[in-house]
Amino acid sequence: MDMKKVLIKFLGITVLITFISCSATVTEKTDAIIRESDRSLTTNKSSDSISVDSNQVTKKVLTSMYVKAIQDYIDAIYRKDKSSFDTLYLANRKMGGPDDFPDIELPEKIEGVEIILMPFVDAHANKIIQYKKTTPLINLMGWVDKVKGEFVFVTFFPGFKHNYDCYINYNFNSEKKDYELEKLTIEVLVMDKNGKSDHFAIYQDGKHIGDRPIDENKK
């Protein structure tokens, strides 16, 4: 496993463990969620910008890139199955690491969807929300430098069930002075009839392009 995949795996598991540590007990269901997230997040096909410090770009550029990525995420999910969102709850994690959610101010709404930055510790405490398909909880990880940007939307609903991931990559066009979408992939975790993780369904441009086994060694 290369270092980029290890990093994504570590960040995903750290986020889940932090969510869960707010609870008094860890159930078998929670353990299953961690295992599923482990397998899913190790599949990220990130570019070399994964370890780049986002401070290499201005706060204005960083903010615009997060807005662009959220717009593309919303549009991609709609193209996939006509799903729309009422609210996106973004975990505003502050853990002292380079993967922390940046100190930026997002619009109250993007593409008509309400955007709520939720303090990390409140993500679990605010049980009244009961995260749903139209109001998911998202651990959004982003890396931006002067030549490329990439984002991972780790999406949870209902509750803290890890449902799917969306990977978005951009390249900077020096002529247009703007970042252009390079690739967007959605990976949906599919269960078998017994409720166990079976495979990932892969989507691009709103279309199902194939499946991938949970265990990479089964390829």
pLDDT over 70 (residue 76): yes
pLDDT at 73: 98
Tell me the DSSP string of 96-124.
SSTTSPPS----SEETTEEEEEEETTHHH
- Of 172, 171, 164, which is closest to residue 203 (Cα–Cα)? 164
pLDDT of residue 13: 42
CA dihedral sign, ordered 186, 9, 135, 143: negative
pLDDT at 119: 87
Maximal C-alpha separation, the chain: 54
Mean pLDDT of 22-28: 33
Mean pLDDT for all residues in the chain:
78
What is the percent of the chain where pLDDT is above 90?
52
d(CA 139, CA 122): 13
Specify the higher pLDDT residue, 102 or 94. 102
Which of 92-106, 138-152, 196-210 is predicted least confidently?
92-106
| pTM score, whole prediction | 0.76
Q: In angstroms, what CA-CA distances link 67 with 21, 63, 151?
A: 30, 6, 11
**H-helix or E-strand spanning residue 191:** strand 178-191
